[in-house]
Homo-oligomer: A and B are copies of this chain.
Amino acid sequence: MTPEALTPERILEATEDVLRRYGPAKATVVDVARALGVSHGSVYRHFRTKAALREAVTSRWLERTVVELAKITNGTEHPAPVRLRFWLTTLFEAKRHKAGDDPELFATYSVLIEENSGVVEEHIRELVTQLREIIEEGVRAEQFAFMEPSVAAQAVFDATARFHDPAYAPEWRKPTIDGDFAAVADLVLRGLSA
């Protein structure tokens, strides 16, 4: 690969592959460079340390969900209560797919998440901000009436933790989980409603 073609995105893609293949304990920057056919110096030119590379790949993984959810947050087609339920459902679906479709990659990222708590905190802040935006709109439209929107947003996020916190991933395969999710979503939406 020519140096020009070596974009951060290419490096992060290759890093994800390498992490999946070797596991987070063994994967090295040299493995990433080898997978790309470049020197490890070329990789270090974009990510100054192995830790920075691991942090960036974690951030990228979490960001995919944020981008998907932002489409719902910024949509105007449906009223806020409908959008809020769809947002919560989409978050649960996204996390469940990540856990179920590629369990090895999920396990890998679970390790990375442990070592990059700052990235996770930022991720949660972004999600709670999106929730707040939907709730604010619902309050303006008099569909929601309750609590300060940023307090409400955090409460909705906390109340639905069982359906997005990766610590609960083993429960997401239970046959009752969809009913459980629907009941909590009903309760939360009723709690917010004007």
> What is the interface of chain A, defined by CB distance below 8 A to chain B?
146-147, 151-152, 154-156, 158-162, 167, 179-180, 183-184, 186-192
Copies in the complex: 2
- Write out the residue numbers on chain B whose beta carbons fall within 8 Å of the beta carbon of A155: 180, 183-184, 186-187
Instruction: State the Cβ distance, A164 to closest chain B Cβ, in Å.
Output: 11
**Nearest-CB residue, chain B, relative to A161:** B162
- Among A152, A155, A162, A187, residue most surrounded by chain B Cβ atoms (within 10 Å): A187
The residues of B that contact A189 with a CB separation of less than 8 Å are 191
Whether B159 and A190, one on each chain, are in contact in the complex, defined by CB atoms closer than 8 angstroms, is: no
In the complex, residue of chain B having the shortest beta-carbon distance to the beta carbon of A190: B191
A117 → chain B, closest Cβ, in Å?
Answer: 11
Contact A187 B192, beta carbon cutoff 8 Å: yes
* Shortest beta-carbon distance from A160 to chain B in Å: 7
A179–B187 Cα distance when bound, in Å, is: 20
Which residues from chain B contact A192 at a C-beta distance below 8 Å? 187, 190
Please determine whether B159 and A184 come into contact, CB atoms closer than 8 angstroms: yes
Whether A152 lies near B183 (C-beta < 8 A) is yes
